[in-house]
Amino acid sequence: VQLQASGGGLVQAGGSLRLSCAASGRTFGSYTMGWFRQAPGKEREFVASIRWSGGSTYYTYYANSVKGRFTISMDNAKNTVYLQMNSLKPEDTAVYYCAADTSTWPRPTMSQHEYDYWGQGTQVTVSS
Q: What is the pLDDT of residues 79-119, one digit of tens each?
A: 999 999 999 999 999 999 999 999 888 888 899 999 999 99
Q: What is the pLDDT of residues 21-74, one digit of tens each?
A: 999 977 888 899 999 999 999 999 999 999 999 888 999 999 999 999 999 999
Cβ partners under 8 Å of residue 100, min gap 6: 1, 3, 23, 25, 31, 32, 33, 34, 115, 116, 117, 118
User: Tell me, what's the pLDDT at 34?
Assistant: 97
